[in-house]
Structures are given as C-alpha cells and as structure tokens.
Amino acid sequence: MSLNDDLEIRSGGVIAVDTDDLRTAAARLRLLVDDGEELHARLAEITDLLRDAGTWQFVPVGEVAAAVEDAASLARGLQSMADTYELVELWIQIEVARAANDAERLAVLTAVSATLIATHPEAAARAAGEIAGWVTGRREGVVAQLGGSAGSLGYLMPGWSLRQAAGIVGGALALVGTAAVDGIGRGAVSGQPLRGEPRPISVTPLSSTRGAAPSGLADLASRIPRSEARVRVEKYTMADGTTNFVAYVAGTQIGAADDEPWDGTSNLELYMGSRSASYDATMAALEAAGAAPGDTVYLAGHSQGAMVASHVAASGVYDVPALVTLGDPVQVDVGPGTLSIDIRHRDDPVAALAAGGHPGGVGSADSIVAARASAASLVDGELPMAPHALDRYVETAALLDRSSDPRLGPVRSLVDGLGQAVSVQVTTYGATRPS
C-alpha cells in the first residue's frame, strides 16, 4: 500500500472542537462586521460627494460590502457550529448520566437538551447528523476492506487453526460486524482497574544495550518488539539525575506455545476487562528495569500491546505523561494528565473493536486521534488483517512526522524532551507463564 494523504487528525472523538473558542471567534468577527459597516457607510458618503463634485475616483464600496458580508456569514457559521457541538457534548453527558444511573443529573441534562433543541432546531438537526456520521464512519473502512460483507471465518482465514483464529480477536469479532461490537460495549473503557489478581509470570532479560531517544513517532513505533522480545524498556537518565522510562509492548503472538502470555486468551481477557498474563508480564518487566510506583513511564504498544499499555497508563501505578497506541482494540480513558496519541486504520478489523472509542475523546487537551484507510480490500487481493500490521502503522506514524498540523506540536515536544537525556539504557524482555 502506498502512502497517501487520506490522513485525518482529530482532537478526540465526535467532538473535535472547542465551543468556547468558536463563540469567541464569532464575537470578534461581529465586532469586525460592525467596523466594516461603519467603513462602508463612510465610503458611500465619499462616493456621493465625489459624484456631486463631478469627479470620478475609485472607492472600494462594493469590495468592503462583500468583505463585511463574508465576515458576517463566517460569524453566523461559527455560532452555528458552537450550538451544534454544544448539543453533541450535552447528549454525550446525558448518555454518561444514564450509564451511571444518575437519575437526578439525567433529568437536569434532559431538560436543558429539550430547551436547546426548541431554541436551536437547526443546530439539533446538525448535531444528530454529526453523531450519525461518526457512528457510520466507524464501520465504513472495515466494511470496505471486507469487500462489502462480513464474510465467514473459513473464507477470511483459510487453513488457520481455531487457536490461530482466536489469537486475533479483532479479526474474529469483525466477522460478525461492528454492530455486534457496539452491543458488547467494550470499545470505550472507563479506566477502572482490571478485574482479577496477578498471576505467576516469568520475565527474562534478553538484551541490554546503550541506546538513544526516538527521532519521531515512526522511530518510536518501530521499536515495538516483533521477535522473541515482548517488552522493551528504555531507561532515560536526565541531566538533573532524574530517570524516566519508556516501555514498548508487543502485539498478539499468533500460533504461540502454551506458555505464551501474549496469546488469544490474554486478548479476550483484556478486551472483557480482566487482568491478563501479558499485562502482568509488562508490569513485571517495568519493575525489573527499575521503574518504581510513581515513576515517570511513557508507554507505547501495538494491538494487544496497545491494550496492555492503555491499562498500565490507567492503573495509576506510574505517572504516565504520554501513551502511544497503534491499532488499539479499545480506547481507555487515561485521564487529563496523559497525552494520548491514538493511531488507527479505518479498515483495521482490530481497531474497529474500539467502535470509535469515547465520543468525547480521552487524555489531555492536546491528545489526538489519527486515522486513515488502506487503498486495497479483500476483493483486490488484500489480506484481511493487512491493515493491522505494525509495518503499516509505522508508515502512518511517518506521515504524522511529516505533517505540518499544529496539533502535533506537543507530540514533537515529547520526543524532543526525551532527546535531552544524557544516557539511555535499553533492555528487552521475554516472558513465559505456566502452561
């Protein structure tokens, strides 16, 4: 698949705008409109005086009138957008209150919604359209990649054993359609602790070398383990003597041995909100690398590793300034203290398990969701899981590195900050569990 410009960068879920900023911009434009109307009136007077004096001189009356109308139209549009997205956000709060069984808050929010709908019926219609488009858009890429139908397990995965098929939980669940995924309701995760207790895990250091900070998102993504290692931990010693850690967590291992923590069982456990062997192994690797509770740990992961990293970030054990996920089957609410960099492929069946994630987005105000679709589908000979491959996500990360979008500024600052380290120690870990 060739790189393309079908790259969308958003600040969150369906809400990707700040309504206060929109209203402020609309107010400033209205002030400019007032000044423009006054200028237009004075220019019209000058035109009349010149005509009465029998003198011709070009006066930009029409141009000023057009500029005033453009500014007024833009101000109306910004105000309309603010009304629209304010309703979207209100409706999301209503759903949160309903899910929490908060009857009192639900009643208040519903009353406010009814008033706004009556006051701004056009904005309500647009808000409903935005939500409908977001819901539909979550599925379009996977449906297109599957050639327009869900297909069957035997068709998509010929010759695969049941164990191998279960290993990619995303591929299996995508077959029954993302509507079923919505019904499961596990895509948007609140950030509550995983259920269950730690289990016996053996973590073994495989290599230890000196390294350097990543040069960008693509370099960071390419460090996620793909061979015998499951977790890579980089320990950064800063000039002031403090230490930071970056942990990279591998994805699911297809056809692995019975003692493999990164298997299909761990996939299903994590997706359903239970503690997994891969999660315990990652925590053990961080501890082995010297990370103590409360230390600063940056996290990155692909596929199952993205789920693991997300839950580690939400656990509260470490201070996590940033979380980078690629092809994450869930979107965990990591809270405002974490910069969430969520990279998805719209035709990735595993990423589709997130069902669009949280409508309002997660993480800090600078967090982003970056998405694009591949150019091919099953009917073109594309393998069903090809859009989920780590190499594909590294390509997308490279597009982000080259992007001039200002929302990537905090991401670049993150990488630059790691580059200030005086030394970087890199350790990779393998892991096994009792059969």
Amino acid letter, 243: T
Lookup: tokens for 50: 């010149």
Amino acid letter, 257: A
Helix axes 304-315, 277-288, angle to 10 degrees: 60
Phi, psi (rounded to 5 degrees) for 345 = -110, 130
Residues 432 and 202: their CA atoms lie apart, in Å, by: 5
3-state secondary structure 323-356: EEEECCCCEECCCCCCEEEEEEECCCCCHHHHCC
How do strand 339-345 and strand 368-372 relate by DSSP bridges? parallel
List Cβ neighbours of 247 (8 Å cut-off, separation of 6 or more).
231, 232, 233, 234, 282, 285, 286, 289, 291, 297, 298, 299, 300, 309, 312
List Cβ neighbours of 207 (8 Å cut-off, separation of 6 or more).
229, 426, 427, 428
Residues 163 and 236: their CA atoms lie apart, in Å, by: 39
Query: What pLDDT score was predicted for residue 96?
Result: 72
Query: What pLDDT score was predicted for residue 164?
Result: 41
Q: How far is CA 298 from CA 82, 233, 290, 351, 384, in A?
A: 35, 10, 14, 21, 31
Q: How far is CA 195 from CA 17, 274, 276, 382, 434, in A?
A: 35, 5, 9, 37, 20
Query: What pLDDT score was predicted for residue 417?
Result: 94
Report the run of H or E that residue 243 belongs to, with start and end: strand 243-249
Q: Please check whether residue 331 is in contact with residue 362, taking contact to mean a CB–CB distance below 8 angstroms.
A: yes
Query: What pLDDT score was predicted for residue 434?
Result: 82
Query: What pLDDT score was predicted for residue 190?
Result: 80
pLDDT per residue as tens, the chain (435 positions): 334 457 888 776 555 556 777 788 888 888 988 998 999 899 888 888 888 888 888 888 888 899 989 989 988 888 877 777 777 777 777 877 787 788 888 888 888 888 878 877 887 777 777 666 655 555 555 555 544 433 333 322 333 343 343 343 333 343 334 444 444 456 778 878 899 999 899 999 999 999 999 999 999 999 999 989 999 999 999 999 999 999 999 999 987 788 999 998 999 999 999 999 999 999 999 999 999 999 999 999 999 999 999 999 999 999 999 999 999 999 999 989 999 999 999 888 888 888 777 776 789 989 999 989 865 554 445 566 788 899 999 999 999 999 999 989 999 999 999 999 999 999 999 999 987
Place of tokens 């929490």: 100
The closest alpha carbon to 174, from 198, 145, 202, belongs to 145
Domain chopping of the chain, boundaries: 15-119, 153-432
Lookup: tokens for 357: 């994630």
Lookup: tokens for 87: 């309703």
